[in-house]
Amino acid sequence: MRVMLKAQFDTEKANESVRTGKLPELMKETLDHLKPEAAYFGPEDGYRTCWLILDMKDSSEIPPSAEPFFTQFNAKLTYTPIMNADDLQKGLSQIR
């Protein structure tokens, strides 16, 4: 199932990663590990935020996808089920 993982980074932890120059390396490692379909970055609600589109085969993938954000950035995470246009059409065809 496709999900959108939103991670809002703790400001102090993220600032420290920026000051030490580790933020690019940490994000690259995380993205290489998770292999998102898409990744977007920007500010939201005053926090550095990333939105990752992940194709999860099983809910057991949640802990390993969350842990880097918890341990490295003390991030607040949300997972939202999402669909692309093909998924939507497939779902809609089943309610007729």
Neighbours of 14 (CB within 10 A): 19
Say which CATH topology domain 2-93 has: Alpha-Beta Plaits (3.30.70)
What are the extents of the domains in the chain? 2-93
To the question of pTM greater than 0.85 for the whole model, the response is yes
CA 50 – CA 29 distance, rounded (Å): 14
pLDDT (tens digit, 9 = 90+) per residue, 37-92? 999 999 999 999 999 999 999 999 999 999 999 999 999 999 999 999 999 999 99
pLDDT (tens digit, 9 = 90+) per residue, 2-33? 999 999 999 999 999 999 999 999 999 999 99
Amino acid at 60: S
CA distances from 19 to 2, 43, 60, 80 (A): 34, 18, 34, 31
Calculate ∠ Cα 82-87-92, nearest 5°: 105
